[in-house]
Amino acid sequence: MSVVQQATQEIETRISKGEWQVGQRLPSQHELAKMLQLSRASLRETLSHLESRGLLSIKPGKGVYVTARAPKEPKQWRFENYSLAEVLAMRQQLESFAAAHAAVNAVAEDIALLETSINEAYQAAKRGDLLMVKLCDLDFHAQIIRIAGNRLLQEIIKLIRQPYEQSKTPPHGSFADMEPTLEEHKRIFLAIKMGEPHLARTAMEQHLQNAALRANIHLSGPI
């Protein structure tokens, strides 16, 4: 489990147990980073993820506030300036680029982290832990973007983080329902592990094409 996954679970647990109440301001980011043993960058990623799920509200210059006792996956697309189809199409282009470069750049430590993320996702899916499946999904894609090593790509993903995260279909149902996505992740991983950029690009393109179809969206244009 990545440090961001651990921190996300820790904050959710504290809120669900009432340690931090709705409307309450959390400790400063400096204090949170120390408490959770996170870098400032990892803390920002954790808080941004929880904000995108409706659990926290980040108010620049004022602090971070609790907005709900439990995270809620939005049922409807909530961004007016662009559609879900547009975000998925952009993700397909950006992340296929990332997968190809990750296949070239990945070292043994990167491969181990990706494999751990996939294994934890399978285990979580089998025991019906939907939150952990979601966190592993986010971690898997984030690791690939990191391994790609393109700083501009990383900044673009940060800029579109909220629609990016909402574009991911929440895991649901039984293991059989989640297995296709897990198998697609495995194919991407194996291509990266083998150092095959073309296969990695194709596997990621197909994964996001399938993700769109699972949301009843057909992405137009070549993949």
28 and 109, same domain (yes or no): no
| Two tokens, residue 3 | 């440090």
Q: Which of 32-36, 44-48, 100-104, 194-198 has the lowest mean pLDDT?
A: 44-48
42 and 129, same domain (yes or no): no
| Two tokens, residue 38 | 């996170």
127: which residues sit within 8 A by CB, 6+ positions away?
none
Torsion of CA 2, 126, 48, 39, to 10 degrees: -10
Q: Specify which of 15-29, 124-138, 162-176 reaches the highest per-range mean pLDDT.
A: 15-29
**What is the residue type of 163?**
P
pLDDT tens digits, residue range 57-103?
888 778 899 988 776 555 555 666 778 888 889 999 999 999 999 99
Distance between CA 107 and CA 217 in Å, rounded?
35
Q: Considering its fold, how many domains does the chain have in total?
A: 2
50 and 149, same domain (yes or no): no
Residue range 156-177: average pLDDT? 76
Which residues constitute the domain of residue 143? 84-214
pLDDT tens digits, residue range 105-156?
999 999 999 999 999 999 988 888 877 888 889 889 999 999 999 999 999 9
159 and 197, same domain (yes or no): yes
Nearest Cα to Cα of residue 105 among 151, 138, 136, 42: 151
3-class secondary-structure state, position 56? strand
CATH of the domain at 44: 1.10.10.10
